[in-house]
Amino acid sequence: MRGEDFRGCLVTVSRELKMTPQRAERAAATTTTPPAECSVACTNAIGATDIKDIHETLNHAVQASVARLTRGLSPAALMGAWFDWATHIAAAPGKQLQLADKATGKLRRHIRLAIDSALTGDKAKPCIAPLPQDTRFKADAWQTRPFNTIYQGFLLQQQWWHNAFTGVPGVTAQHERALQFLARQMLDSVSPSNFLWTNPEVLEKTRETNGLNLIRGMQNQLQDMRGAMTGSAPEGADSFQPGRDVAVTKGRVVYRNRLIELIQYAPLTETVRAEPILIVPAWIMKYYILDLSPHNSMVRYLVGQGHTVFIISWKNPDADDRDLTMDDYRRLGVMEALDAIGEIVPEQKVQAVGYCLGGTLLSIAAAAMARDGDDRLASLSLLASQVDFTEPGELALFINESQLAFLDSLMWKQGYLDTTQMAGAFQMLHSNDLIWSRVIRDYLMGERKPMNDLMAWNADATRMPFAMHSEYLRKLYLDNDLAEGRFHVDGRPIAISDIRTPIFAVGTESDHVAPWPSVFKIQALADTDVTFVLTSGGHNAGIVSEPGHPHRAYRIGTRHAMDRYVDPQTWQAAAGVQEGSWWTAWAEWLGSHAGARTCPAKTGETPPRRPALADAPGTYVMQK
């Protein structure tokens, strides 16, 4: 083989193995003549450092292949949890006897129910009640024979498996939660509500429609399969297009860099509050969840309250953005947005608002600014945002060294975490509500839930760049560096306790992404006045909770900097429930921390070097 051919082959192989182009070219450049032995040639040509890269590449390639098959779950982590439980329960005869006794007792109760049902008909009393959040067997049809016996047997088994994986001496809490999660996934998949012949509601629907529900269900399933294979949006989502149906609040893109577009909204009032508002949404989502339809747009609400509102629209990253870090998001996102706002609305402090991961990033930026004497922030509003990650809820099941190694390999292969991979993890956390209830409604009952703006937005997800997401999970979720004072910005650690600006924090009651007790911990970390709101709803619907929204309520209380700490449960019990939207209380709070009213700055009239670039919603939000 000629030297030129060998070098070309080496470059090709290196690129196929995902070696960086620079190292591939350097490896090729070191070879001028074909060595006699292939192994010696590769060693001489590539060098020890590049050989190490190839070894790491092989590791990543194999793990990425397995991760795609397991939907990102690490078999090693699951096997470790199982082995931990199995070895400890083998050495716990007392627990074994307890489980045997429970199994016998549950069998006896189930047999008694079957006999009572046979003798008294549908008047037999259930022997076990579903959990409060379990609505699968709520209909009266489930209390008739033989379905009452079927679903009661399922609930008894579910309870027994929970007992089996709980309270085994010596098993770590992480492994216990992982096994409970796995058991729930398996049991949910075989629930009698999921099958035609064991679901009385589906049978009744089939009789009423002469089987048309099953035909419609098959059509729905084929449609969903086609959408999954082609990557197209769900049916009805095209009725909620950004700029046409949603994200229609008038504004202009006044600044753009490689990561963000900054949108300034046109005023709706003759005068405005002097201090502008900057909203930092999470980069895991399109920003327009906060600017949905006109009736439930948080942006429009704030503008209508007389605020000058700016919002960050994040770029949807691709493989070229794989090396973007958390600090890139802080610097290119929050800090450059503040610089641009300072030019448009000079000599005014900013009321900053962060949602979800955007709130975490905003907290990092605020702590760094406080450390460095930057006092441009007038207040902080953190919506469903965590700064302490010791109790992140069931999301912690996906965060350990084994899982993160798998996730790193998955992201390394493609340069980002895909939208479907993130959605799958969140759906598994609440598989009853997000997976199996849809199977029953869409495929067995043959019904489709009407598309709305929030559902359409949820289908318009974004990706996460490799370096940033890996750093975020390790430094925040796994090591909790931010809360414990080890998170570095510009080479030095920051502390949330340095923040002196007043904080308005919001948690939602049924949040499975940022559980409200975790959000509540900002009160123990920040040495400033913290107003905390607990609102009904989940991570998204609880935040998009406009005035007039039915069935909404909230609790509110303020802890001043010198007050004693109160734990979440005590606070919840003491705080009174107020009907309505928390937006009104927030608007009052923002107004109390704002200055006098003034004439609004005209939208898009920025300094000459930063002219308005486009109408809202801009271009980044349109990226797929």
Q: Residue 336 to residues 434, 461, 479, 501, 614: CA-CA distances in angstroms? A: 38, 24, 28, 20, 18
Question: In this structure, what token pair is assigned to residue 166?
Answer: 């709980």
Q: Is the pLDDT of residue 429 over 70?
A: no
Residues of the chain above pLDDT 90, percent: 59
pLDDT at 430: 56
pLDDT at 16: 42
176: exposed, middle or buried (C-beta count within 10 Å: 0-12, 13-18, 19+)?
Answer: middle
Q: Is the pLDDT of residue 56 over 90?
A: no
* pLDDT tier, 36 (very low <50, low <70, confident <90, very high otherwise): very low
* pLDDT tier, 34 (very low <50, low <70, confident <90, very high otherwise): very low
Over range 503-531, report the average pLDDT: 94
Amino acid sitting at position 506 = V
CA atoms of 557 and 580, how far apart (whole Å): 16
CA atoms of 247 and 619, how far apart (whole Å): 12
pLDDT at 78: 80
Inter-helix orientation angle 173-189/147-164, to 10°: 160
Mean pLDDT of all residues in the chain? 85
pLDDT in tens, 382-397: 999 999 998 887 777 7
Over range 211-235, report the average pLDDT: 86
pLDDT in tens, 257-304: 999 999 999 999 988 998 999 999 999 889 999 999 999 999 999 999
Q: Is the pLDDT of residue 22 over 80?
A: no
* pLDDT tier, 437 (very low <50, low <70, confident <90, very high otherwise): confident
Residue in 225, 250, 267 with CA at minimum distance from that of residue 443: 225
Domains of the chain plus CATH, in order, are 3-69 (no CATH), 76-172 (no CATH), 251-418+463-622 (3.40.50.1820)
pLDDT in tens, 542-568: 999 999 998 899 999 999 988 999 999
* pLDDT tier, 65 (very low <50, low <70, confident <90, very high otherwise): low
* pLDDT tier, 484 (very low <50, low <70, confident <90, very high otherwise): very high
pLDDT at 24: 44
pLDDT at 28: 45
* pLDDT tier, 74 (very low <50, low <70, confident <90, very high otherwise): confident
Over range 508-537, report the average pLDDT: 94
Residue 251 near residue 603, CB atoms below 8 Å: yes
pLDDT in tens, 129-173: 998 888 899 999 999 989 999 999 999 999 999 999 999 999 998
* pLDDT tier, 359 (very low <50, low <70, confident <90, very high otherwise): very high
Q: Angle at Cα 93 formed by Cα 90 and Cα 97, nearest 5°?
A: 120
pLDDT at 26: 46
Q: What are the backbone angles phi and psi of residue 76, rounded to the nearest 5°? A: -65, -40
Give pTM, 2 decimals.
Answer: 0.83
> How is residue 533 annotated by DSSP?
E
Amino acid sitting at position 556 = I
- Bridge partners of 493, per DSSP, are 488
Q: Is the pLDDT of residue 221 over 80?
A: yes
Over range 28-57, report the average pLDDT: 53
Q: Please give the positions annotated as active site.
A: 356
